[in-house]
């Protein structure tokens, strides 16, 4: 089975590539490296010992996408490519709508043209907005509260319309809660650009001494200790959820949304304690004003994914923090770009093998 992975060089994509290769899938990665480095894919090869094709391609370029489908016999697509920073989406909404929505429209059009109709899409718990009640069920009301979240909600609607127009499509909408952690090798992990927006990358940069102290956004929420509560999920569990969804879309038609979370919420203060335990470092923090738009509690009811896909998160909060820390301490500056990674044409396997994996540029 040949799986096209868009955005495969990114945080969740690279972990999913490892799981796919380990399970014997052949993969092809498309990424424009706007928020990732080629080194992450080199390391996917280091972990798995497997080669795969990589196209330095933008999903906004339909002609290049078409070439990828012409050159390869693709069975299914896992679609991670997208911009994901909530704050940035408020400042530059058009770029978010353009990249995420138009990029997905292009992908679906090209898939349709080549009769590839199995799709696993990266949605987000952000589509629920300010949830009326927790734990959140897939049937809960949707109401994203920022442009990024609205791109995900719109794409979900577009994909539902697509399925309604042609019942031979098979689509999984995976609503991730809060992915954290890293591969246990410490070779791949989350490598945010600049100052991290999310809690765990921020905490781990404080622990490693790159940042002075954490700002805890509010301690007056109606939660166990007043700080925000989230459903943190290990990125490897999340990656495995994609393989389960892939099996499901390969064996049936339809469109289904699934919450991928653990079902348990942890507060910011609890996460600080867990990370201190995992790292053996002190995490200085101060309480500041709440971040505008933050919800007090957000955690999943993940039973639909268990029942339909046979998927359940297995990794503990300790493992999430230990693996995040291993990645951080081994790679304090994230991925350093490796100049030895070279671009080759897709049929030039000889030089590709020297590079460690095949890199091709659709032109």
Q: Kindly list the catalytic residues.
A: 148
Q: Which does 202 bind (CB under 5 to 8 A by kind): ligand NAD, ligand UFG, none?
A: ligand UFG
314 exposure class (CB count in 10 Å sphere: 0-12, 13-18, 19+): exposed
Distance separating alpha carbons of residues 114 and 173, to the nearest angstrom: 21
Distance separating alpha carbons of residues 314 and 260, to the nearest angstrom: 12
| Helix (H) / strand (E) containing 170 | strand 170-176
- x/- mask, ligand UFG, residues 284-323, rule CB under 6 A, reads -------x--x-----------------------------
CB of 10 to ligand NAD, least distance (A): 2
Instruction: Check residue 58 for interaction with ligand NAD (CB under 6 A).
Output: yes
Interface region with ligand UFG, contact rule CB under 6 A, candidates 134-142, 211-219, 318-326, 336-344: 211-219
- Residue number, 201 or 356, with CB nearest to ligand UFG: 201
Interface region with ligand NAD, contact rule CB under 6 A, candidates 18-26, 30-38, 68-76, 281-289: 30-38
Distance separating alpha carbons of residues 84 and 254, to the nearest angstrom: 26
Q: Which does 28 bind (CB under 5 to 8 A by kind): ligand UFG, ligand NAD, none?
A: none
Window 152-191: residues binding ligand UFG (CB under 6 A):
176-178
Instruction: Check residue 36 for interaction with ligand NAD (CB under 6 A).
Output: yes
Instruction: Check residue 341 for interaction with ligand NAD (CB under 6 A).
Output: no
Q: Residue written as tokens 């996408």?
A: 65
Reduced to 3 states, what is the DSSP secondary structure of residue 78? Answer: strand
Instruction: Check residue 189 for interaction with ligand NAD (CB under 6 A).
Output: no
- Residue number, 253 or 338, with CB nearest to ligand NAD: 338
Instruction: Check residue 296 for interaction with ligand NAD (CB under 6 A).
Output: no
CB of 122 to ligand NAD, least distance (A): 3
Query: Nearest residue by C-beta to ligand NAD?
Result: 10
Q: What dihedral do alpha carbons 63, 156, 190, 318 form, nearest 10°?
A: -150
Tokens of 35: 């928020």
- Residue number, 197 or 264, with CB nearest to ligand UFG: 197
- Residue number, 54 or 83, with CB nearest to ligand NAD: 83
- Residue number, 294 or 319, with CB nearest to ligand UFG: 294
Distance separating alpha carbons of residues 198 and 146, to the nearest angstrom: 16
Reduced to 3 states, what is the DSSP secondary structure of residue 38? Answer: helix
The answer to whether 262 touches 311, Cβ cutoff 8 Å, is no
Instruction: Check residue 202 for interaction with ligand UFG (CB under 6 A).
Output: yes
Residues 6+ apart with CB under 8 A from 316: none
Pairing outcome for strands 214-217 and 118-124: unpaired
Tokens of 93: 């909404």
- Residue number, 48 or 253, with CB nearest to ligand NAD: 48
Distance separating alpha carbons of residues 126 and 176, to the nearest angstrom: 8
According to CB under 6 A, which one of 4, 5, 13, 135 is a site residue for ligand NAD? 13
Interface region with ligand NAD, contact rule CB under 6 A, candidates 32-40, 204-212, 319-327, 352-360: 32-40
Reduced to 3 states, what is the DSSP secondary structure of residue 12? Answer: helix
Instruction: Check residue 265 for interaction with ligand NAD (CB under 6 A).
Output: no
Window 79-98: residues binding ligand NAD (CB under 6 A):
80-84
274 exposure class (CB count in 10 Å sphere: 0-12, 13-18, 19+): buried
According to CB under 6 A, which one of 22, 66, 185, 198 is a site residue for ligand UFG? 198
DSSP 3-state percent helix, strand, coil across the chain (nearest 5): 40, 20, 40
């Amino acid at each position: 089975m040949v799986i096209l992975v868009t955005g495969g060089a990114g945080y969740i994509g690279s972990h999913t590539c490892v799981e796919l290769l380990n399970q014997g899938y052949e993969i092809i990665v498309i990424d424009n490296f706007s928020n990732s480095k080629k080194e992450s894919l080199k390391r996917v090869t280091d972990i798995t010992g497997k080669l795969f094709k990589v196209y330095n391609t933008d999903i906004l370029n339909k002609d290049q996408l078409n070439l990828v489908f012409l050159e390869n016999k693709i069975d299914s697509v896992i679609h991670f490519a997208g911009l994901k920073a909530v704050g940035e989406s408020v400042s530059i909404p058009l770029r978010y709508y353009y990249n995420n929505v138009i990029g997905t429209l292009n992908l679906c059009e090209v898939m349709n043209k080549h009769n590839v109709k199995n799709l696993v899409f990266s949605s987000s718990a952000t589509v629920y907005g300010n949830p009326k009640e927790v734990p959140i069920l897939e049937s809960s009301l949707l109401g994203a509260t920022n442009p990024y979240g609205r791109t995900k909600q719109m794409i979900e609607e577009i994909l539902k319309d697509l399925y309604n127009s042609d019942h031979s499509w098979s689509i999984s909408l995976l609503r991730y809660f809060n992915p954290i952690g890293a591969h246990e090798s410490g070779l791949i992990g989350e490598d945010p650009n600049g100052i991290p927006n999310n809690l765990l990358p921020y905490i781990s940069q404080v622990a490693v001494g790159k940042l002075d102290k954490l700002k805890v956004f509010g301690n007056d929420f109606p939660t166990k200790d007043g700080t925000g509560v989230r459903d943190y999920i290990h990125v490897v569990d999340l990656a495995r959820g994609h393989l389960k969804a892939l099996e499901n879309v390969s064996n049936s038609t339809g469109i289904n949304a699934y919450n991928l979370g653990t079902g348990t919420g942890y507060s910011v203060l609890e996460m600080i304690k867990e990370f201190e335990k995992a790292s053996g470092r002190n995490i200085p923090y101060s309480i500041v004003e709440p971040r505008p738009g933050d919800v007090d509690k957000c955690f999943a009811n993940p039973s639909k994914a268990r029942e339909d896909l046979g998927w359940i998160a297995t990794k503990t909060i300790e493992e999430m923090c230990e693996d995040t820390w291993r990645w951080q301490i081994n790679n304090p500056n994230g991925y350093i770009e490796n100049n030895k990674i070279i671009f080759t044409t897709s049929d030039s396997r000889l030089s590709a093998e020297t590079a460690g994996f095949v890199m091709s540029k659709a032109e």
